[in-house]
Amino acid sequence: MLEMQGIETFYGETQALFGVSLNVGPGEVVALLGPNGAGKTTTLRSVLGLSPPRRGRIHFDKQDITHMPTHRIARMGISWVPDDRRVFPTLTASRNLRLGSRRTRFRAWEQQEMFGIFSALEHLMGRECENMSGGELQMVAISRALLGSPGLVLFDEPSQGLAPLIVQGVMNTIHRLKQEGISVLLVEQNALAALEVSDRVYVMDRGHIGHEGCARELLGNAALRQRLIGV
Ligand code: ATP
């Protein structure tokens, strides 16, 4: 579904990614782990065309998206759940969701279905996002991503700032997306929670992919886990 080959991305003259290659298959959940500054967010920004790579190729759904503008990449079926949620604070949840709605070649989701996933959302629809808690905002951000009819969702630190119970809810939602055949690339500091919901894992360090493997295997190998991700 997503294939990145030899991606090199820069901020000005500073190189952040050094030949990053990774792929996400259809309906696969892939975790991207690593310490602060490793290049995880930059990898997502490269896919989205927000920080286009200087070298390497990115294919999504068999099409070359390397130098496509972000709005076209979104219309191809890639949704993003950013770490800072990026909702319009003075607009209601309902308006934010309407602004995120989009049709692609992938399954279209209805607003009503979001209430099935997040039962609390229905009562939040008329509330401005600036008056919401972190967990409520995350529901809006994930619902907005789904209403964009994605084939692939990029999650950037979805558990950041959330209570453990809400984190579990977010991870359950990711599992649900997988069951629906949606692919997920999951950047997460909460490595154990991410590994539990993922099929495969990449570990990054200083702009390089240092390890690629099966998530379950890494979860079950405490020594390797300690060496690679320090948990
Ligand atoms: P974190 O978990 O802290 O967000 P990360 O793994 O997502 O870390 P990135 O944010 O992708 O890492 O950062 C990768 C490198 O790029 C770091 O060295 C960072 O300082 C640098 N970088 C990130 N954003 C910018 C920017 N806007 N301008 C210059 N350098 C940047």
Cα–ligand 1 centroid distance for 31 (angstroms)? 18
32, 42, 204, best to mutate for ligand 1 pocket (most atoms within 8 Å of CB) = 42
How far from 91 is each of 34, 98, 212, CA to CA, in Å? 35, 11, 41
Spatial CA neighbour of 139 closest among 106, 108, 107, 172: 172
CB 14 less than 6 A from any atom of ligand 1: yes
Q: Where exactly are the structural domains of the chain?
A: 2-229
Cα–ligand 1 centroid distance for 200 (angstroms)? 23
Cα–ligand 1 centroid distance for 207 (angstroms)? 9
Torsion of CA 37, 173, 75, 54, to 10 degrees: 20
Look up residue 125 and give its two tokens: 């629809």
The 10s digit of each residue's pLDDT in 14-53 is 999 999 999 999 999 999 999 999 999 999 999 999 999 9
Cα–ligand 1 centroid distance for 52 (angstroms)? 14
pTM (2 d.p.): 0.93
pLDDT by position in tens, the chain (length 231): 999 999 999 999 999 999 999 999 999 999 999 999 999 999 999 999 999 999 999 999 999 999 999 999 999 999 999 987 888 889 999 999 999 899 999 999 988 888 988 888 999 999 999 999 888 998 899 999 999 999 999 999 998 888 887 888 889 999 999 999 999 999 998 999 999 999 999 999 999 999 999 999 999 999 888 888 888
- Whole-angstrom distance, CA of residue 31 vs CA of residue 53: 21
Contacts of 214 (CB under 8 A, 6+ apart): 199, 200, 201
Cβ(170)–Cβ(158) below 8 Å: yes
CB neighbours of residue 195 within 10 Å: 24
CB 34 less than 6 A from any atom of ligand 1: yes
CB 37 less than 6 A from any atom of ligand 1: yes
| Residue for token pair 């950013």 | 82
Nearest CA to ligand 1 atom 26: 11
CB 13 less than 6 A from any atom of ligand 1: no
Cβ(26)–Cβ(71) below 8 Å: no
Closest atom of ligand 1 to 83 CA is: 4
CATH code for the domain defined by 2-229: 3.40.50.300
- Whole-angstrom distance, CA of residue 7 vs CA of residue 20: 5
